């Protein structure tokens, strides 16, 4: 159960990070405070087809995993109720 929780938290962090990146205007800086470790994402990258596809893919996968987890939990709950 701990692995499942950590997987869900990691998926949620990735999803919120990509969503926040896609919703920014102008330039977004990702990474550290110094120039060597930061990546500047400009307006053209924000609106690119690749970024939109990545965002849709991550949201879709998060939805699929959410449904699978809910099915798993429902089966476990029904098994406990029938005992």
Would you state the pLDDT for residue 79?
93
Does residue 40 have a pLDDT over 80? no
Tens of pLDDT, residues 58-79: 999 999 999 999 999 999 999 9
Give me the mean pLDDT over the 6-26 stretch: 62
Inter-CA distances, 80 with 6, 50, 68, 75, 83, Å: 24, 45, 19, 9, 5
pLDDT for the residue numbered 10: 74
At residue 24, the 3 state secondary structure works out as: coil
User: Tens of pLDDT along 24-36?
Assistant: 555 555 555 555 5
What is the reported pTM? 0.43
């Amino acid at each position: 159960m701990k692995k499942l929780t950590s997987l869900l938290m990691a998926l949620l962090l990735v999803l919120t990070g990509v969503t926040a990146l896609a919703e920014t205007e102008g330039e977004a800086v990702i990474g550290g405070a110094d120039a060597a470790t930061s990546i500047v994402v400009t307006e053209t990258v924000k609106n690119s087809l690749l970024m939109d596809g990545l965002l849709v893919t991550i949201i879709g996968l998060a939805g699929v995993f959410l449904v699978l987890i809910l099915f798993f939990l429902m089966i476990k709950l029904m098994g406990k109720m029938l005992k």
